[in-house]
Structure 1
Amino acid sequence: MRRSTTSLAALAGAVLLLAGCGSKSGSGTHPGSAGQVSPPAPSASASASAPGGCPATVELKAADTGRTVCVAKGGEVRLTLDGTKSRPWKPVMASGTALKGINAGFVVQPGNATAAYQAVATGTEKLTSSRPLCAKPTKPGGVSCMGIQEWTVTVTVK
C-alpha cells in the first residue's frame, strides 16, 4: 500500500509540473503575426478599463522601465521603485502636464522611490528616476563604479 501512495504522489506532482509548463506568456509569437515576436508581458498592474480603453489605475515597478502605459483621464498612476541604502533611487521626476502629483499615502523605506499621480489631462508624460549601479565603497581604496541605472516609463492619458 505504501508503494502505491508514493507512486500516486509522484504522478500528481508530475501532472502539476507539466500543467505549469504551458502557462508562460509573452514569450512567443501570436498566431497570424507573420513571425512578429510579442513584447514580454508588463509587470505593471492595472485595474479594469475605463470608457477610453485605458485602466483607471496603473501600478508601476522597477521592471516596467522602458514601457509605455495608458491610464484613463481622472485615474491614478502609482509607483514604487525598490532600492537600498547603498543604491538609492532618486526621486521620480515627471515631464509634462498630463499628470499631477498626489500623496502616495505610504511610508518610504530608505533607498526606495515612490510616487503617485492623478491623470488630469489628455496627453503624454514621461516619468524618470535613476540610481547607482554599484554601492559606494565603505572604506578608502574600495571598489566602486560610476554607472547609473536609468528608469523611464511613458504614460499616455486618454
Structure 2
Amino acid sequence: MRARMAAAAGAAVASLVLVAGCGSAGGVRVGAPDPSTAGAQPDCGDVVVDLDATGAREVCLNVGSTVRVRIGAKDVPANLNGTALTEVSPGVYRGARAGSAQLSGFRHACPGAKPGGVSCHAIVGWKVTVSVR
C-alpha cells in the first residue's frame, strides 16, 4: 500500500510541469523590485527557492548572484548538474557562468511525527532549473 502511494505521489510530481519565466513565483527574490514595474526586464539577482511548495521550478540568476534552496528556514543540499553554478555551501549556489544548471533532490512528503506517533516515510522529488545570464 505504501509503495503504491509513494509511486502515485512520485508520478504526480513527475507529471507536474510548471512552465515559468524568470522572476516567476518559482522563488522569492531577495530585494525584489516593485511589481508595478511589470513588463520590464526581470530581476535575476539573488533568489530563495522554498521547497515547501510543490512542483518543478525555473529561476534566472545573474553571474555572481546566489540561489538558496530551503525547506522552511533550513538550507537543503542538492545534486548539481551543469557548470553554470558553483556550490558556496550546502543549499547555496552562485552563478559562475552563463548557461543553465539543474538542482535536484528529495524531501519528505509529510511533516515529522511526534515521538511515539505514526510516521510517514513518503518522499517527493524536486528539481530547480537555473538559467544564469
TM-score (norm 2): 0.58
Classify 1:68/1:99 alpha carbon distance in 2 versus 1 (closer, same or farther; 3 Å): same
What residue number does 1:58 align with? 47
- What code does the residue aligned with 1:157 have? V
Q: Identify which of 53, 59, 71 aligns with 1:69.
A: 59
Higher strand share: 2
Q: Percent identity?
A: 29
- Runs of 4 or more above 2 Å deviation: 131-136, 142-148
Instruction: Determine which of 79, 82, 85 is the counterpart of 1:96.
Output: 82
Shift of 1:154: 0.4
Q: Is the 8 A contact 2:27 2:48 kept in 1?
A: yes
CA-CA distance at 1:150 after TM superposition? 1.1
User: Relative to 1, partners in 2 of residues 1:72 and 1:144: Cα closer, same or farther, differing over 3 Å?
Assistant: same
User: Is the alpha carbon distance of 1:144 and 1:53 closer, same or farther for their aligned partners in structure 2, counting shifts above 3 Å?
Assistant: closer
Q: Distance in 1 between matches of 2:47 and 2:70?
A: 12
Partner AA of 2:72 in structure 1: D
**DSSP-derived class of the 1:91 partner:** coil
- 1:1-158 mapped onto 2 (5 Å cutoff): 42=25, 44-46=27-29, 47=31, 53-62=42-51, 63=53, 65-82=55-72, 91-103=77-89, 115-133=91-109, 147-158=122-133
Larger radius of gyration: 1
- Give the residue type in structure 1 aligned to 2:63: K
Q: Give how far 1:124 is off.
A: 0.8
Which of the pair has the greater relative contact order for Cα pairs under 8 Å at 6+ separation? 2
Partner Cα distance (1:117, 1:90) in 2? 11
Q: Which amino acid aligns with 2:27?
A: A
Question: 2-side partners of 1:131 and 1:54: how far apart?
Answer: 28
**C-alpha contact (below 8 Å) 2:76/2:91 kept by paired residues:** no
Deviations 1:13-69 (A, max 9, x none): xxxxxxxxxxxxxxxxxxxxxxxxx97x615112458xx854221111012641111
Distance 1:74 1:95 in 2: 18
Equivalent position of 2:3 in the other structure = none
Conserved 8 A contact 2:26-2:59: no
Give the aligned residue type for 2:125.
E
Change (3 A) 1:99 1:64: farther
Structure 1 residues 121, 44: CA separation in 2 closer, same or farther (over 3 Å shift)? same
Alpha-carbon distance in 2 for matches of 1:153, 1:101: 14
- Verify the 8 A CA contact 1:43 1:64 in the aligned structure 2: no
Paired residues in the alignment total: 102
